[in-house]
Amino acid sequence: MNHPDGPQLITYADRLGGGLTDLRRLLDGPLAGAFDGVHVLPYYRPFDGADAGFDPEDHTIVDPRLGTWEDIRALSERGVVMSDVIVNHVSIRSEQFRDVVEHGDDSPWAPMFLTLSSVFPDGVTEADLARIYRPRPGLPFTTMTLGGVPRLVWTTFTPEQVDIDLRSDQAWDYLVSVLDALTGAGVTMIRLDAVGYAGKEAGTDCFMTAATQAYVDRITELAHERGASVLLEIHGHYLQQVEIARTVDYVYDFALPPLVLHALHGRDLAPLARWMEVRPTNAVTVLDTHDGIGIVDVGPNDLRPGEPGLLGPEQIDALVESIHDASGGASRLATGAAASNLDLYQVNCTFYDALGRDDRRYLLARLVQLMLPGIPQVYYVGLLAGENDMELFGRTGVGRDINRAYFTPQDVQAHLERPVVACQLEALRLRSSHEAFQGEFSSEIDGTRAVLTWTAPESAVQLCFDVEDASFALAERRGAGPWRAVVSDGDLSPMAEAARLAATRH
């Protein structure tokens, strides 16, 4: 490991040709030097539930089909390991909730789970229900029979995921057991999944309430006591991210992906430039993740009434249509009400398809991400410049599966030989190893052209680019030596690709 803030890979344990052992071999083999850490998406039992592991039945057990806690420890010995603590909910098939289903309020676990009356013991009005913020259509309740009595159980995301009541001792005993299992295996970064919805309070929109902040503070203290830092996963108005960043270890820069897409589709750097002036630097940067491309993060929304977004409504509409057009309509089929189990504020599409499979614009987007301050994370599909998986989406009907492809070892090897992937890896290795990234960052933006620079004593890295034609050049200098070209748009020309393929054959 070179830098604790170096690049990290985001991946499911089973989608790069195997399990946890195979993932380590990949990181130490063809991906060596590119990643200083890895965010392994939920590997708990079961990893293949209704929400791809985000609905754990047992959050303290590694699914044996993937490996063991020793495999997680082995990953931690080579670099940072980030894991998810799913704060808001568990599976309806968890041992605790199944006991509540059988015994109702007589179950010792009954206080751990939220029902409508848990939050509104004095009754609820139409205004109370209309105020609740939910990322999906409809109200966040599912009728279930608990101990023979029909109840309205709080299910923010899906009927398969029942929400936890963090006011109860049982919930905190559960969360502490999860933290102990993770940190005991060497996990040093904790991602709080969906924590913004965990602080339900009557008289509020039940999102990012005062109770939420108190819960985040408590979990953060517990994590710090165990040697781990905390990343909050919050989608909302961009000003919320700026404010929250002042109180936590890390936040996501979820505004970056749509702003980069806007810059490349609209040939307009102004919104990205505005964001760079105010964005928090204790950020984890992404282009793509296991979820969709967030739009709410750059627009106006009801969470901050009267506050404009980084993009206006017309710009957002144009961006979404540009993504749909670039993907040949595939993202339209997988987004919003067109597909099941989806967040309405996200566009479901691989980032590669969102840019029309244009290698130059795609690589430029990745370079911009790698140059910005923060911890860059690269999703496994994005690393391989993967295309929309319409077959998987067709089988499951879940829109986000369009960007959750399975790769065989042969698939991985074939993708690694593509110039756009090889150039990404070269840039990632530079980001991981170059001392300039421990120095000072500066930027100059003039119309469609920009220069992003990192400078340290006697070393520098610089990216020059123009979103008008997607031309770019990444160069580095060490010590008193000359500037050296690292990658440029010319590396993706047909002649360059032919030369690279010829070299691999010999």
Contact 131, 55 (CB under 8 A): no
Distance, CA of 79 to chain centre = 19
User: Is position 36 annotated as part of the catalytic site?
Assistant: no
| Residue entry with tokens 């517990």 | 222
**Number of C-beta neighbours around residue 445 at 10 A:** 15
Report strand pairing: 44-45 vs 58-62. antiparallel
Query: What is the chain's Cα-based Rg?
Result: 23
Contact 429, 437 (CB under 8 A): no
Contact 348, 404 (CB under 8 A): no
Ordered per-residue pLDDT tens for the chain, 506 residues: 446 789 999 999 999 988 999 999 999 999 999 999 999 999 999 999 888 889 999 999 999 999 999 999 999 999 999 999 999 999 999 999 999 999 999 999 999 999 999 999 999 999 999 999 887 788 999 999 999 999 999 999 999 999 999 999 999 999 999 999 999 999 999 999 989 899 999 999 998 899 999 999 999 999 999 999 999 988 888 998 899 899 899 999 999 999 999 999 999 999 999 999 999 999 999 999 998 898 889 988 777 888 899 999 999 999 999 999 999 999 999 887 654 433 457 899 999 999 999 999 999 999 999 999 999 999 999 999 999 999 999 999 988 999 999 999 999 999 999 999 999 999 999 999 999 999 999 999 999 999 999 999 989 999 999 999 999 999 999 988 889 999 999 988 654 544 444 444 33
Residue 99, classed as helix, strand or coil, is: helix
CA atoms within 13 Å, Cβ hemisphere of 9: 28
Contact 415, 421 (CB under 8 A): yes
Structure tokens at 442: 């500066």
Choosing from 55, 233, 476, 489, the catalytic residue is: 233
* pLDDT the model gives residue 3: 65
For helices 256-266 and 313-326, angle between their N-to-C axes, nearest 10 degrees: 80
Q: What is the DSSP string of 35-93?
A: -SEEEE---EEPTTSTTTTSS-SEEEEE-TTT--HHHHHHHHTTSEEEEEEE-SEEETT
CA distance 379 to 1: 19
CA distance 307 to 237: 9
CA distance 158 to 91: 10
User: Is position 180 annotated as part of the catalytic site?
Assistant: no
In terms of Cα–Cα distance, which of 397, 399, 415 is closest to 407?
A: 415
* pLDDT the model gives residue 1: 40
Report strand pairing: 8-11 vs 44-45. unpaired
CA distance 255 to 238: 7
Choosing from 5, 57, 163, 193, the catalytic residue is: 193
- Residue spans of the domains in the chain: they are 437-505
Report strand pairing: 346-347 vs 375-379. unpaired
Report strand pairing: 80-86 vs 189-193. parallel
Amino acid symbol at 173: D
CA distance 139 to 154: 9
CA distance 360 to 341: 33
* pLDDT the model gives residue 59: 93
Contact 44, 153 (CB under 8 A): no
What torsion, rounded to 10 degrees, do the Cα atoms 482, 487, 489, 495 define?
100
